[in-house]
Amino acid sequence: MTPLQGCLLVSALLFAIGLAGAVTRRNAILALIGIELMLNAANLNFIAFWRYGPNPEALTGMMVVIFSIAIAAAEAAVGLALIIAIYRHYKTANLDEIKNLKG
Amino acid sequence: MSLPFIIIAIVTLFAAAAAMSLRNLVHCALSLVVTFAGLAALYLQLGAQFVGFAQILVYVGAVAILIVFAVLLTRSDAMPNQAILAPGWIVGIAVSAVVFATLGWAALNSPGLPKQMPPAPEATVKNIGDLLMTRYVLPLEVIGLLLTAALMGAVIIAMKEEPLSKPGSSRRESAPSEKLERTDPALRDCYEAEKGGHS
């Protein structure tokens, strides 16, 4: 197994863990944490391909990861604000109890 | 594969699994910090210093704190006395196992992957700054705009709904309006004192 394949396997496992958590956990915050883990797995893939790819001096993968980190920060801020607003309305953060769209 | 890589990868994956499976949400957030730190160590090991430190600053410093605040604000820090997994959890686990099998199979059997490690590229902060100011200047500006808009939107979404027209008209809105009236004179006094001190 080459180093690149090791990185890809770690990232695939991280993605699967994040997906399992985002799909199966009841709490909305845990679902958001799962999405963050999936984003981080994609970032790890970008860095690995940048490092072992044919043209590393162009820094393309690194740039994508920097922008992706910024977008993930914005996503976390808006997502947690939405969860807090939903909690204030429904008095719960349990995804199974948030059933109706009517305010 | 070197030994440090294996150790860091195992720690990261165990922390990620703990973050997704622990019962107490504060423990989940702390395991998430370990996961992010492990990922930063992986980036450092792969030669991406700037991204590794950005990961520590943004994820460990900001996102994890934000998650802890959200856990405390939604009162999720107490142990839930019901099941923590949704009813159809076995399907979710099966789907993610299939996803991992597919990704792992593709990673292990792709013929076009480069076999050996090329010489370490020069990725200094100066190079990154040059590229950000020349070739990637438009994405940088767009990201700045997106972050500003997202932060303002987050504040507006999470803000308490203050009564606009008739304060105290309904029972639900009476508590915040009383608080507002209590705090308002104090704020006005502060403001006037500061204004008097300046003039």
- CATH number, domain at B22? 1.20.120.1200
Decide if B133 is inside a domain. Answer: no
Q: What share of chain B is helix, strand, coil (3-state, %, to 5)?
A: 75, 0, 25
Which residue is closest to A53 within chain B, CA to CA? B114
Total domains present in chain B: 1
Give yes or no for residue B181 having a pLDDT over 50.
Answer: no
Question: Considering the entire predicted model, what is its pTM?
Answer: 0.82
How far is residue B6's CA from residue A9's CA, in Å, rounded to a whole number? 11
Contact A59 B58 (CB under 8 A): no
Decide if B48 is inside a domain. Answer: yes
How far is residue B103's CA from residue B116's CA, in Å, rounded to a whole number? 21
Domain ranges of chain A: 3-97
A positions 21-80 inside 8 Å of B (CB): 21, 23-27, 29-30, 32-34, 36-37, 40, 43-44, 47-48, 50-54, 56-57, 59, 62-63, 65-67, 69-78, 80
pLDDT for B122 equals: 74
What does A28-55 look like in DSSP terms, one character per residue?
Answer: HHHHHHHHHHHHHHHHHHHHHHHHHSS-
More confident residue, A56 or B65: B65
How far is residue A32's CA from residue B146's CA, in Å, rounded to a whole number? 19
Report the residue from A3, A66, A85 with minimal CB separation from B117: A3
How does pLDDT run along chain A (103 residues), one tens digit per residue? 788 899 999 999 999 999 999 999 888 899 999 999 999 999 999 999 998 888 778 888 899 999 999 999 999 999 999 999 888 888 888 888 888 776 5
- Tell me which residue of B136, B140, B122, B116 sits closest to B50, measured CA to CA: B122
Q: What is the pLDDT of residues B71-84, one digit of tens each?
A: 988 877 676 667 77
Does the ipTM exceed 0.90?
A: yes
Cβ-count burial B113-125 (b if 16+ within 10 Å, e if not): beeeeeeebebee
Contact B146 A71 (CB under 8 A): yes
CATH code linked to domain A3-97: 1.10.287.3510
Q: What is the pLDDT of residues B85-101, one digit of tens each?
A: 778 889 999 999 999 99
Contact A52 B117 (CB under 8 A): yes
According to DSSP, the residues that pair with A27 across neighbouring strands are A94
pLDDT for B192 equals: 60
Decide if B166 is inside a domain. Answer: no
Domain range spanning residue B6? Answer: 1-80
Tokens linked to A18: 């994040």
